[in-house]
Structure 1
Amino acid sequence: MLDGSSGQGAPAWPGLAPGTVVAGFTIEGLLASGSFGTVYRARRDGRPFAIKLVSLAPRGNREVDALRRMRHPNVVGFHGYGLWPEEQPHSLVLALELVEGLPLDQWMQEVNPTALDLVGRVLLPLALTLADVHALGVVHRDVKEANIIVRQSDGLPVLVDFGAASLEGAPRLTQWMPPGTPEYRSPETLRFARQWEGEPYQVGPAEDLWALGVVTYILLTRMLPFGDRHDPGMVRAILEKTPREPDELNPRVPPALSELCMRMLEKDPEDRYADARALAEALSTAWSEADRSWRVPLFPEVRREETPPLPPPPAAPALPERQAPRRWRMARLILGAAILGGVLIPSVQRSESPLPSQTQQASARQELAPPEVTGDVGHGAGPQTSPSPVPVASATPTQEPEMIKPQKVRSLAATTLLTSAVCVGAGCASTPKPEPLPPSPCPPGSTEGLKRLGMETGDFLRINVLPNNFRQLTIVVSEGDVTVEVMEGWKKMPLYAHLYGELIFKKNHVYGHFTRVQLENGEIVPVCMELTTPQGIGAAKEPGSTSKKTILKNYLYVSATSRFD
């Protein structure tokens, strides 16, 4: 049995005492340790970080390359990497965002949300996040509650620990079973393991979606759907058993949400949701059609902490009805008239296998899977070569800290969110560089407008360019005036609010400047936001684009800014 370091044994770093300096970061304490690395809380120039030490092995290089592909508000931020120690380095040092918050299961215990809150605040953002991650050629392969942190500052779920991730186009590190946690493995993975004939398993996004189905079941019932690894019948249950429906175990679960969860756990992949975007659409539709049963806390035995309610869907702006998406119209008709109130429902019957004890741990930390939970399993799979991660270009020392630069050690490749993002991999070799636009000022009053909406420079919002459908893989846009809808609420920015601005075509890229947002009461507020993708400012044109009609991948965001660049 091989572990996450591709046959070299689980990484074992001696406990680094507070005050130890690693690549320019001062250790403050241990956060987590697992089969793929050890994470410490650290500080540099007064700023907090999480630094992760991983082995100098293909698995560590893979994690760096996966993290560098992503710049996403719901994915742990990556600031760079270096080698350590200075003499005879044996470890990669990854500088990560310190995600202050609670693991998802502990957040559930403390907050005890309603079904409406759970879908709107957690499950729908996670589905959209996985859609973006998968679009970049990355599969997480260890989606579970411990690897989802609900960030304290904004209440958003953040996907962490990409130590087990797979990367499109990268060489395989195992020959039999991919990394993963036993309770979250899909039926097709286990069937492959039983029938293995020497060919490597072709992991795909379906693995993450199945695991999210297991997570959803656990959140709704506080029980594992198929038992745990200590149960000799767990594998057979995953392959053959249909678990009891969540609303049968917990009558507070709305039937529509229970049915959605059960579809996520169908044995045949073709019977599940086709991809993360299809799942997001199903969650959005269920959320928009919610009745009063969705507004009851999911569990009666936990006192629910006060949390701000989800913003109600906005009233329709003055646009033709054909431009208003079905989700929006349904939400206005149903959720707009939903009644707040409690319903007395009996306590949940606990008749299935309880969760493993490690998922019950509570702390504000960035989580790693413990060694006995996550690992590579392979018959005869040995270490394979993998290219070393390429340092990120265009470092910005004034904005991000640098590693100490010994002569024989690569320094931290500092990167700034949404600036000079670098795509790694064969598919990115020919990607044209963006052409910079001359700086231009934001409209008068935009600073106050963003502040009123709770937005700060760099904040992301997922958007849909009207009149396109957000489920389309690509869209066609024209230069000039444009209207987009906001696909995720943020503080005081309403869900489905309309942003108005213009698209600017350059040779290889499209830029967008947005200067006005229409609130649910029809009021227009000045803002300063620009078109963004996970790769940086602007969006690269796709093959087939012309000077008048441009094709874009439909994974678009806007980010708040202090000036247009």
Structure 2
Amino acid sequence: MLEEMVRPDVVVGGYRIEKKLGAGGFGKVFLAWRDGSPCALKFIHLESVGEWGWRELFIMLRHEFPNVVKLLSHFKWPEEKPEYLVLVMEYVPGVTLYQWARDKNPCARELVEKLLPLARALKAIHAKEVKHRDLKGDNVLVREADGAPVLVDFGAGTMPGAPRVTGALAPANLRYRSPEAVAFFLRENRKRGERYDYSVKDELYALGVILYVLVTDVYPFNGPDDELMAEIRAGKPKPPHVRNSRVPPALSNLCLRLLAKAQARVPDAEALCEALEELLEEAKADPHRWEMVLCYGWTADGRTTDDAPELVGHDSQAWLRRWIRQKPKRGRPPAPPVVAPAPREPPAPPVVAPASPEPPAPPTVAPAPAEPPTASTVPPLRTRVRRAAPVLMAVVGLAVVVGLGLAHVLGKFQPPPSTPNPGQSVLTSPVPAEFSPDGPTLWATHVHEVAPPWKPSEADAGAALSKADTPAPVTTVTLSSGTTHMKKKAPGSQAERAKKGNGSTGANVLLAVAAAANMACPGAQIRKEPAPQACPAGAVETMTRQLGLRLGERHGAGMPGEKQGSSEPVPVKAGPISVELAGDWDVGTDAMGRGGRTALPNGTHLTGQLCIGEKRVYGRITQAVTPTGDTFTVCMELIGQFDDERGLEIKSDGGAIKVHPRVEVKTVDRFE
């Protein structure tokens, strides 16, 4: 296991490891030092995904582009029995483009200034017939030193002469695929072995999705995979300036041109550069519109983008839920104000007896100032919604007075009494003037912590800790929610069953990716029980406080290779493992299973490591990735159905190690 070998202060190929930076579908990246200079080491497993690593090396060795991360060196490791291809890359300290937008809350002009160097980089890349093929916000870093955008991760890239890799489509996030790519995938008469001819226009479409997210804070299309592909093919996104009235119409029109059908799309990166330069000139002529931040900041009563929910028929309860679930704010939340204690009334002068006077009262000590909020102290979305309920009821009551006619339904709501904290986001104004039934679609999933409508609104556990790095060296597999393969759903298939219970979008087919990695796990099977190990840092707190799960609680899951309606054992090997949650994991229900909320939705992928013992197979789960891409650090063990013993019983079959296809995961506070 890579994390056990590549630890802090370990020297790999002459580079001293400092810490893990991240992981994706094709490798894990560590910060390392050599001769006083930092660099990023990308470890790519040769047996399972090595062909993609050689492809990335082939591209990076031959070219050096502006605003693209640089390749410094490469080697195979360990030297005696190489298992990994290691790419030594330039270290780019900074944050992803999406994180920059969340922290900065930029105006329209700043977005154009950030995209123009990226467009120029694509122009240089395409001039050499190179294509990135996995362009998304998480693959663009904003460099800390100068704020320049830097394109990273050419693992899915291609160019003439690059090693060929099988597959009809290159790995990518479904939300960023163009209408023509989706149409190719869904074509019934597609020949076996036929590959999609990815073009420059596909790259520009992906850049259009990035721009749409940056200006509206939502993806242009979203929903369960089949609905998402249908919407992408139709190609009719709601204009950005309609979703967010702060978006200048000219910028909105350029975004729509990038998302148009192929024949109407911006033709190439050079034309895009010219269009962005024209927008900067327009920004000089109309600074008021172009200098306004695109989202509201963290104020006590400020709304975010002008994206109020529309009335949905006569279902006022659904209307209220969507009004409460406002879009998250951008910018850094301020520290809570330090409120000095109210002055105390001076005590009455004491009556002093001549013989034994009373001792003086002790001085009053002011309380220590409050600590700034941390990820663990910021209340999750559901808590903020609950606290804001009384004020929201007043708002809806005002709407009733002016003619909405919802009083007979709203009178049924009984929100729990609570008082909002200072600085807490509360709706204090009536419906904005631009509110109309032609507002955002019901399934417009926000990039941050707003729950999609196919998951119950009360199921959203918030995103304060989502996608947080695990500070301790933990045996875990981090599967990129942005790297997915599309899979057609056959009637009655596992994917079809999942569709009924959840929307598998940004993280769809994570199970297939993890299963492939598991089947290709190198090395001999380890036939001994694993040693005790502590849970990942923060895992227990995340499970109990954020998700609301109890220690010792268990829930059903399916192993990779499970066949519908069959109990046939499935083969397993030591190494990475990903199991899929079967059904919603609800918490707070009564004895009849009523009420409560969903902590982890159906189709959540639970990833970790599998170890083969003498008589049982042991699985340690350290990460949960929901169908919408939210990631939680957890601590769970695999156990058999109706079995309290740790691990899964081995069902040998001619030397192959197999287990029952249906298992359970159990929350623990330590791996025994």
AA aligned opposite 2:203: D
Counterpart of 1:197? 191
Encode CA deviations 1:64-116: one digit per residue, 9 max, x unaligned.
Answer: 11112332341011101011001110111111111101111111111111111
For residue 259 of structure 1, what is the amino acid of its counterpart? Answer: N
* Match status 1:131 vs 2:123: yes
Q: Which residue in the other structure is 1:65 paired with?
A: 58
Q: 1:110 to 1:222 in 2, by over 3 A?
A: same
Give the drift of 1:346: 7.8
CA contact (8 A) 1:83 1:92 kept: yes
Alignment partners' CA distance in 2, 1:274 and 1:362: 38
* CA 1:175–1:74: 2 relative to 1, 3 Å: same
Asked if the contact 1:38/1:54 (under 8 Å) is kept, the reply is yes
**1:112-156 CA distance string (max 9 Å, x none):** 111111101x11111111111111221111111111110000110
| Equivalent pair of 2:105/2:297 in contact (CA under 8 Å) | no
Q: Distance in 2 between matches of 1:33 and 1:116?
A: 32
From 32, 37, 50, give the equivalent of 2:40.
50
User: Mapping of 1:273-422 within 5 angstroms?
Assistant: 273-290=266-283, 291-292=286-287, 293-302=289-298, 352-355=444-447, 361=467, 370-375=479-484
Q: Who is 1:144 aligned against?
A: 136
Other structure's SS at 1:81 match: strand
Which one of the candidate residues 13, 25, 29 is aligned to 1:39?
Answer: 29
Relative distance call for 1:296 and 1:211 in structure 2 (3 A) is same
Deviation at 1:172, TM superposition (A): 2.6
What is the distance in 1 between the residues matched to 2:96 and 2:296?
21
Aligned match of 1:28? 18
Q: Report the alpha carbon displacement of residue 285 of structure 1 after superposing the two structures with TM.
A: 1.0
Paired residue type of 1:236: A
Gaps of 5+ in 2: 299-329, 333-431, 450-462, 472-476, 489-515, 517-672
Tell me the residue number matched to 1:467.
none
1:16 corresponds in structure 2 to 6
Equivalent residue for 1:109? Answer: 102
Would the alpha carbon gap of residues 150 and 360 (structure 1) be closer, same or farther in structure 2, given more than 3 Å must change?
farther
SS at match of 1:233: helix
Asked whether the equivalents of residues 106 and 361 of structure 1 are also in contact (C-alpha less than 8 Å), the reply is no
- Report the equivalent of 2:606: none
Q: Counterparts of 1:163 and 1:109 in 2: how far apart (Å)?
A: 26
Tell whether 2:209 aligns with 1:214.
yes
For residues 347 and 245 of structure 1, what CA distance do their matches in structure 2 show? 14
C-alpha contact (below 8 Å) 2:174/2:485 kept by paired residues: no
Displacement of 1:176 in angstroms is 1.2
Task: Determine the C-alpha separation between the residues in 2 that align with 1:277 and 1:369.
Answer: 36
Deviations 1:162-218 (A, max 9, x none): 111112232431231222111111111111111222222111222211110000000
**Contact 2:132/2:157 (8 A) holds in 1:** yes
Quick one: distance in 1 between partners of 2:259 and 2:151? 21
1:272 matched to 2:262 = no
Partner residue, 1:153: 145
- How far apart are the structure 1 equivalents of 2:108 and 2:478? 27
CA distance in 1 between counterparts of 2:80 and 2:166 reads: 30
What letter corresponds to residue 258 of structure 2 in structure 1? M
Relative to structure 1, the CA distance from residue 70 to residue 51 in structure 2 (aligned partners, 3 Å threshold; closer, same or farther) is same
TM-score by length of 2: 0.45
For 1:262 and 1:27, locate their aligned partners in 2 and report how far apart those are by CA, in whole Å. 44
Tell me, yes or no, if the aligned pair for 1:227 and 1:354 is still in contact at 8 Å: no
Q: What amino acid maps onto 1:176 in structure 2?
A: A
Q: Percent identity?
A: 39
The answer on 1:165 being equivalent to 2:157 is yes
**Are 1:257 and 2:247 matched, yes or no?**
no
Is the 2:7–2:17 contact (alpha carbons within 8 Å) kept by the matching residues of 1? yes
Q: What residue in structure 1 maps to residue 221 of structure 2?
A: 226
Q: Distance in 2 between matches of 1:346 and 1:174?
A: 53
Counterparts in 2 of 1:346 and 1:299: CA distance versus 1, 3 Å: farther
SS in 2 for 1:28: strand
- Counterparts of 1:347 and 1:14, CA distance in 2: 55
* Contact 2:67 2:149 (8 Å CA) reproduced: yes
Give the letter for the 2:253 counterpart: E
Given that 2:93 and 2:144 are in contact with CA atoms closer than 8 Å, whether structure 1 keeps it comes out as yes
Q: Secondary structure at the match of 2:210?
A: helix
Kept in 1, the 8 Å contact 2:54–2:163? The answer is: no
Q: 1:216 to 1:360 in 2, by over 3 A?
A: farther
State whether residues 106 and 362 of structure 1, in contact with CA within 8 Å, keep that contact through their aligned partners in structure 2.
no
Structure 1 residue identity aligned to 2:482: V
Residue of structure 1 equivalent to 2:170: 178
Query: Once superposed, what is the RMSD of the aligned Cα atoms?
Result: 3.0
Aligned counterparts of 1:168 and 1:356: Cα–Cα separation in 2: 38
Q: Is the 8 A contact 2:96 2:140 kept in 1?
A: yes
Partner SS state of residue 236, structure 2:
coil
Match of 1:158, SS state, is strand
The one-character-per-residue Cα deviations of 1:281-302 (angstroms, maximum 9, x if unpaired) are 1111122122121111111225
Partner-residue secondary structure (3-state), 1:285: helix
Conserved in 2, the CA contact under 8 Å of 1:35 and 1:371? yes
The alpha-carbon distance between structure 1 residues 65 and 115, as it changes in their structure 2 partners (threshold 3 A), is same
The residue matched to 1:238 in structure 2 has which SS?
Answer: helix
Q: Secondary structure at the match of 2:20?
A: strand
User: Where does 1:391-470 land on structure 2 (aligned, <5 Å)?
Assistant: none
Aligned partner of 1:77 in structure 2 is 70
User: Computing the radius of gyration over CA atoms, which structure comes out larger, 1 or 2?
Assistant: 2
3-state SS, counterpart of residue 283 of structure 1: helix
**Does the Cα contact within 8 Å between 2:55 and 2:163 map onto a contact in 1?**
no
CA separation in 2, counterparts of 1:55 and 1:89? 9
- Aligned to 1:128, the other structure's residue is in SS state helix
Describe the shift of the 1:15–1:249 C-alpha distance in structure 2 as closer, same or farther (beyond 3 A).
farther
Q: Please give the alpha-carbon distance, in whole angstroms, between the structure 2 residues aligned to 1:274 and 1:377.
A: 26
Query: What is the CA–CA distance in structure 1 between the aligned matches of 2:77 and 2:139, rounded to whole Å?
Result: 26
Measured after TM superposition, the shift of residue 369 of structure 1 is 8.8
Q: Which amino acid aligns with 2:446?
A: P
CA, structure 1 residues 286+82, in 2 after alignment: closer, same or farther (shift >3 Å)?
Answer: same
**Residues 373 and 14 from structure 1, CA distance in 2 versus in 1: closer, same or farther, beyond 3 angstroms?**
farther
Q: Higher relative CO (CA 8 A, sep ≥ 6), structure 1 or 2?
A: 1
The alignment partner of 2:479 has SS state of coil
Q: After TM superposition, where is structure 1 displaced by more than 3 Å over at least 4 residues in a row?
A: 11-15, 302-305, 345-351, 356-363, 368-373, 375-379
Letter aligned with residue 270 of structure 2: R
Deviations 1:22-43 (Å, cap 9, x if unpaired)?
1111111111112101100111
Q: Quick one: which amino acid aligns to residue 255 of structure 1?
A: P
Unaligned runs of 5+ in 1: 1-10, 306-344, 383-565
CA displacement 1:291-322 (0-9 Å, x = unmatched): 121111111225768xxxxxxxxxxxxxxxxx
Distance 1:346 1:92 in 2: 57
Instruction: Measure, in 1, the Cα distance between the counterparts of 2:220 and 2:95.
Output: 23
Query: How many residues were matched structurally?
Result: 326
Q: Could you tell me how far apart the structure 2 residues matched to 1:114 and 1:141 are?
A: 28
Partner of 1:89: 82
